[in-house]
Structure 1
């Protein structure tokens, strides 16, 4: 039987020269859920993400994936297990076509990544899957477009397609709507909802309207520690959460209209 929680942390702590950035965080991400990690600036959200994906090493604590400790593993080992992070930076090759970008990601999944010297015919076997992934993120009409020519929102969709090419079990999204206007935000919300089918998503997100529309469960961090957890209705009504966002008794919605 698969574990109820696909990803857990127990007492996860990160200290930097006496400063505690993440303080004994217990996080449980349920299989099949979209789970958000939110909090005001400096709350420790990105540091937690960096610890989960082993860009940073914990000072103390344990990280479990599918019930097994991955605390001592390296970033590339964790990615091969199916814990894959996207949207932290632009991860596309600007002067390659949209199709070629996804094909490179598929090569990596097959273990022969970046074999640019292979013949075009030998790589065309990947095109059917690449085109399917582009259709999944509404980019099938952009297959031959250079990635650098895509509008910002479409470029983020391409990043999602290249991530999905790695067949993630848990998809970690770092600020997927950062810097976007309303139309692009709506597009990304729809794409994340689609990508979450048959997989688990953990996302850091500043836009609480996005969180309220997408997420099954929310963990709120403040000063590196867990402040509250629950569904959106629960955490948005929590006076401590309001105080953390606004320094007053204002609602969370007012903090992020």
Structure 2
């Protein structure tokens, strides 16, 4: 089995005359946390949508575990073990935390809703659902409606529902966006914990989180790969400094 779980080769996507992603090559090492970073408009979200097939590439290929998934649908790649989150928390607000995770388990186990025996079927999933909540520190909130959870715990609940699908590859889109410093630290710790035994790709603006979590970083700018490497390597890259802060190499020399 290849050391790389996912590879994108010469991946491009245009919208009319605008090239949002241009000839991007990306290799994601199995078992790693790989961050996609870059200034606003760099093409990060477009890349996420391409990798999870919410949009189709104009050209290029995507392979997962050696299989070409370029033309598969989002639900098909989810069934292969690629699951994503979104910038805005995507949980059912008026269901409890337990019920939210149970829905993910129903999807994975193909347990359909049948009104005459639904309670019995669903109760068999409660043990695993509680286990997933325990993984993210939410077991004591199992019977609390999602709408009543603080924002950081909503994001933790979203990760719990993602874990319910047993992903081999998780894609997290801005997991700490809009959080205070305490929540940021808790969610970063959570991502580190749940990364054991799986691969994570994340888009993240908080460079403190990136420096703490990422094994490898790809920096995008104007739809192209600007730099790749560890945080130490890319943070010292003159092209990255200029793209992020407008600082040219000769200004820091």
TM-score by length of 2: 0.96
2:124 counterpart SS class: helix
**d(CA) in 2 for partners of 1:146, 1:116:** 23
Q: What corresponds to 1:105 in structure 2?
A: 104
Deviations 1:179-238 (A, max 9, x none): 001000001001100110000000000000000000000000000000000000000000
Aligned to 2:32: 33
Runs of 4+ that moved beyond 6 A = none
Moved more, 218-227 or 89-98: 89-98
Q: Please name the residue that 2:183 is paired with.
A: 184
Checking the alignment, whether the CA contact within 8 Å between 1:9 and 1:27 is kept in structure 2 is: yes
Residue 160 (structure 2) pairs with residue 167 (structure 1): no
Distance (Å, rounded) in 2 between the aligned partners of 1:176 and 1:51: 18
Distance in 1 (alpha carbons) for counterparts of 2:86 and 2:137? 17
The 3-state SS of whatever aligns with 2:27 is strand
Which ranges in structure 1 are unaligned for 5 or more consecutive residues?
251-257
Whole-Å separation in 1 of the counterparts to 2:14 and 2:122: 46
Where do 5+ consecutive residues of structure 2 fail to align? none
Q: Which residue number in structure 2 is paired with residue 43 of structure 1?
A: 42
SS at 1:132's partner residue?
helix
Corresponding residue number in structure 2 for 1:14: 13
SS of equivalent residue, structure 1 residue 71:
coil
1:141 aligns with 2:148: no
Whole-angstrom CA distance in 2 between matches of 1:119 and 1:172: 31
Q: How far apart are 1:116 and its partner, in Å? A: 6.5
Q: What TM-score comes out, normalization by structure 1 length?
A: 0.94
In structure 1, the partner of 2:213 is 214
Instruction: Quote the residue 1:130 is aligned against.
Output: 129
Decide whether the 8 Å contact of 1:87 with 1:159 is kept in 2: no
Q: How many residues align?
A: 248
